C-alpha cells in the first residue's frame, strides 16, 4: 500500500472514532436528556433535564432553555432541576449551548408529561361474609404488576402486619376467620425504582352476615331466661 493512501485511511479512521458529532455545516447540536430516563413523571417526583453540546468536553459554556412556561429552567445553567413536578411542568423542552461566543444548534424537543399519582384499588372477596369465613383483600394499581403494597386498618398510619389472623402475600391480604365487622381497610402501592407511592385506596369495611342477628338472639335468650 502506498504511504499516502495509508495516511488518508488513518486520518479518516481517526475522524470517525473521535466522537466528533458536528452537523455537516460544522455547527454542533445540543443534546437534551432526562434523568431518570422516563418521559412520564408522577406529580411530586423529581426530574433533571440536562443540556450538553455534542462531542462533550465543554464544561464552561452557557445555555439557553425553551420551556412550557417562563422561569422553569435557570438560563445559563446546563441542568434544569425540577424538585417536585407539577402539571404546569408538562410540555416540550429544548436547549442550546454557547461556547466561546459560538452557539450550538437547538436540541430536539423532549416532551415531559406530569400525571397525577395513580390510585390504588382495593377489592374484597367475599363481601359480605359469614362468621368464620376467610376473606381475601386484593390491592392493585392499574394493570401494572411491578408495584409492592402496604396495608392499613382504620387509618393510613396503622399498618397491618403479618400475624396469625393476617396473611400478606404480594398484592393480597388474607383475613382468617372473620367473626365481626372489620375495618375499614386501606392499601397503597409503591415502586422500588420510584420515590413516590400511589394514592391510597378508598376504605373498605368487611361486613359479617349474621353478626347482629346472633347478638340479638343471644340477648333475647338471656333476658327471657333471667340470665345475663
- What pTM does this model have? 0.66
The pairing of beta strand 47-53 with beta strand 79-82: antiparallel
**How many Cα atoms are found within 13 Å in the side-chain-facing hemisphere of 162?**
6
For cell 367473626, name the residue: 179
* Listed residue (82, 103, 106) closest to 34, CA to CA: 82
Per-10-residue mean pLDDT of the chain, 228 residues long, equals 38 36 70 88 93 72 88 87 93 91 92 93 91 93 88 92 92 89 92 85 89 37 43
Pair 93, 66: CB distance under 8 Å: yes
pLDDT of residue 60: 67
182-192 CB burial, b ≥16 within 10 A, e <16: bbbbbbbbeee
Cβ atoms within 10 A of the Cβ of 36, count?
12
Query: Quick one: cell of 83?
Result: 424538585
pLDDT of residue 58: 59
CA distances from 32 to 61, 70, 138, 189 (A): 15, 18, 41, 31
User: Which domains are assigned to the chain?
Assistant: 27-115 (2.60.40.10), 134-225 (2.60.40.10)
Phi, psi of 74 (to 5 degrees): -70, 125
Amino acid at each position: 500500500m502506498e504511504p499516502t493512501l495509508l495516511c488518508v485511511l488513518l486520518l479518516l479512521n481517526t475522524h470517525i472514532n473521535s466522537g466528533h458529532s458536528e452537523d455537516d455545516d460544522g455547527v454542533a447540536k445540543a443534546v437534551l436528556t432526562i434523568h431518570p430516563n422516563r418521559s412520564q413523571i408522577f406529580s411530586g417526583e423529581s426530574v433533571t433535564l440536562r443540556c450538553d453540546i455534542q462531542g462533550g468536553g465543554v464544561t464552561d459554556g452557557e445555555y439557553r432553555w425553551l420551556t412550557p412556561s417562563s422561569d422553569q429552567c435557570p438560563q445559563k445553567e446546563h441542568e434544569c432541576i425540577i424538585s417536585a413536578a407539577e402539571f404546569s411542568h408538562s410540555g416540550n423542552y429544548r436547549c442550546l449551548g454557547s461556547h466561546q461566543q459560538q452557539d450550538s444548534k437547538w436540541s430536539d424537543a423532549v416532551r415531559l408529561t406530569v400525571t397525577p399519582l395513580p390510585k390504588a384499588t382495593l377489592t374484597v372477596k367475599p363481601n359480605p361474609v359469614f362468621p368464620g369465613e376467610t376473606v381475601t383483600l386484593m390491592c392493585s394499581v392499574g394493570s401494572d404488576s411491578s408495584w409492592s403494597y402496604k396495608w392499613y386498618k382504620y387509618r393510613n398510619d396503622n399498618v397491618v402486619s403479618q400475624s396469625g389472623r393476617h396473611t400478606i402475600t404480594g398484592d393480597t391480604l388474607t383475613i382468617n376467620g372473620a367473626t365481626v365487622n372489620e375495618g375499614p381497610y386501606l392499601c397503597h402501592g409503591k415502586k422500588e425504582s420510584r420515590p413516590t407511592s400511589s394514592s391510597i385506596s378508598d376504605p373498605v369495611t368487611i361486613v359479617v352476615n349474621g353478626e347482629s342477628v346472633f347478638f340479638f338472639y343471644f340477648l333475647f335468650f338471656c333476658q327471657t331466661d333471667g340470665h345475663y
